[in-house]
């Protein structure tokens, strides 16, 4: 008999954050270990074009994008975010560790929820594909463990296996 992650109760965790740009959005989280330059994203589909970026070839459209900081000049960052916004391929919300004025101003102008100051537990316990709600206005981030780990086994917020598949 096969046991899947959907048979297990959904684990959730809530984290306090600091609002930079108000709003609320839910989506699948996508982590970038590299600084992010929105200008190097194809506005048609949200795919990262920078061959040296850890997210090369992946789409950031409709994600909750988590990244360390912005990259690039103020003009290219703001224009990149604008192009994504008008094409409808921007992230639903953003979580950033280190702010810069261009990122802040662009998020506010584009009305994109942006937060920072999440505890280290958020970064340790949240994985690509988890469903995350960023409620910037209420300064709260909610995470639901929903993805499977690299070995195909459901993984909870604490990294523990929550279900196993029998062969």
Q: What is the pLDDT of residues 75-86, one digit of tens each?
A: 999 999 999 999
59 tagged catalytic:
no
pLDDT, one tens digit per residue, over 29-56 is: 999 999 999 999 999 999 999 999 999 9
**For residue 153, pLDDT beyond 80:** no
Domain boundaries 19-138, CATH class: alpha beta
**For residue 152, pLDDT beyond 60:** no
Q: How far apart are CA 56 and CA 128, in angstroms?
A: 15
Q: What integer best gives the mean pLDDT of the chain?
A: 87
What is the domain partition of the chain in residue ranges? 19-138
Q: Contact, 66 vs 30, CB < 8 A?
A: yes
- Rounded to 5 degrees, φ, ψ at 63 are -100, 170
Cα–Cα distance list, 118 to 12, 46, 72, 133, 141 (Å):
16, 25, 24, 13, 8
As a residue count, the chain comes to 167
- pLDDT band of residue 163 (cuts 50, 70, 90) is very low
- Among 71, 73, 74, 112, the one annotated catalytic: 73
Q: How many CB atoms lie within 10 A of CB 78?
A: 19
């Amino acid at each position: 008999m096969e046991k899947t992650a959907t048979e297990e109760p959904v684990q959730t965790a809530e984290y306090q954050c600091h609002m930079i740009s108000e709003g609320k959005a839910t989506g699948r989280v996508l982590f970038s270990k590299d600084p992010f330059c929105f200008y190097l994203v194809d506005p048609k589909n949200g795919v990262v074009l920078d061959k040296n970026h850890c997210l090369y070839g992946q789409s950031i459209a409709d994600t909750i994008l988590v990244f360390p900081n912005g990259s690039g000049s103020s003009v290219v960052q703001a224009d990149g975010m604008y192009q994504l916004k008008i094409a409808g391929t921007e992230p639903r919300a953003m979580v950033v560790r280190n702010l810069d004025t261009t990122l802040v101003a662009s998020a506010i102008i584009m009305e994109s929820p942006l937060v920072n100051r999440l505890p280290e537990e958020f970064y340790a316990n949240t994985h690509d594909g988890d469903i995350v709600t960023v409620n910037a206005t209420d300064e709260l981030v909610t995470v639901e463990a929903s993805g499977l780990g690299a070995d195909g086994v459901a993984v909870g917020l604490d990294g523990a296996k929550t279900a196993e598949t029998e062969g």
